Amino acid sequence: MNTAALLKQAGLTYREGQVYIALLELGGAGVTTIGKHIGLQRTQVYPILSSLTRKGLARLYFQDNKRFYKPARPKKIIDVAQKKLETLASIVPNLENIEKNPAPQIGLRFIETQNELQNFCTEIVKTHKRKTIYSIGGFQHWEELVGQKFAEQFRKDRVKEKIKTRAIVTQEDTDASILHRSTLSDIRWLPKKQEFKSVFHIFPDKILISTPQHTSLAVAIEVPAMVDIFKSVFDILWDFLD
C-alpha cells in the first residue's frame, strides 16, 4: 500500500494524500507545478489544495502575485486523525440511542479468517472480565489457528483481566502457552492415546469450536441450551479425569 493510500486512514482522500505528498517532495510549489508533478490538471488541484488548507495541512502564500502553497509538518496528520476520532466518538451515543432494544444474538456464526478469529478472542477479553473459560482440546492446534504471537498476547491480556480458565488438554500440549505458570489456569490431561485437533471454548453465553480440519476456522454457537449442554459435558469429563 502506497503512502497516499495510507493517509486515507487519517481522514484524507486519496487525491489529498497525493497532493500533500507532492508538497512535501517539492518543498512547496504553485498549482501548475503540483499538477505536473502528480499528473493532474490545475482545475483538479485547486479544490484539493483548498481542502488541505482548511484541514491545516497546507498554507497559502502569494509570491509575485501568484499562489504558492507550502506543506504543514507531517506531525499535523496526527491532529487531523484525532479530529476524525473525536467526530466518530460524538456519533456513537446517537447510534446507541437508535438501538434501544438490540436483538439477542442467537444462532451459529462461521469464522472464516485468522483476523476474524483474533477479533473474536479480543472481544472475549473485553466482555468476560473476572469470569471463567472452560476449554477442551488440542491447544497447539488452536495457537496455530490464531498465530503464536497473538496466542501469547491473548494469554497476557486474559491474565490482566483476571479471566480464569479450566482446560482439559492433550498430551501434545506440553509447549502450549496455556501451561505458562501465570495463566490463572487449572489443567487436567486427556489420556495419552486421545488426540484432539479441535478446541472447544465454553463461555457463559456462547461456545467457540476451532478446528484446522474445516473450511471455516471456527464456529461460534450462541444458543443458551447448547451452552448448558456443553458445560455439563465438560463438568462430567473434568470429574472423570480427577
- Which pTM was predicted? 0.58
Tell whether 129 and 212 lie within a shared domain.
yes
pLDDT of residue 180: 57
Q: 50 phi and psi, to 5 degrees?
A: -60, -40
Tell whether 69 and 111 lie within a shared domain.
no
Tell whether 58 and 134 lie within a shared domain.
no
Place of cell 488541505: 52
Nearest Cα residue to 146 out of 170, 121, 126, 123: 121
Tell whether 124 and 233 lie within a shared domain.
yes
| C-alpha–C-alpha distance, residues 210 and 229, integer Å | 18
What is the mean pLDDT of the segment spanning 102-113? 76
| Out of 10-14, 120-124, 214-218, least confident range | 214-218
Tell whether 125 and 231 lie within a shared domain.
yes
Q: How many domains is the chain built from?
A: 2
Nearest Cα residue to 143 out of 166, 174, 112: 174
Tell whether 69 and 151 lie within a shared domain.
no
pLDDT at 4 over 90: no
Evaluate whether residue 86 is within a structural domain. no
Evaluate whether residue 115 is within a structural domain. yes
Evaluate whether residue 90 is within a structural domain. no
What is the mean pLDDT of the segment spanning 219-235? 91
Tell whether 9 and 72 lie within a shared domain.
yes
Tell whether 47 and 126 lie within a shared domain.
no
What is the mean pLDDT of the segment spanning 136-155? 85
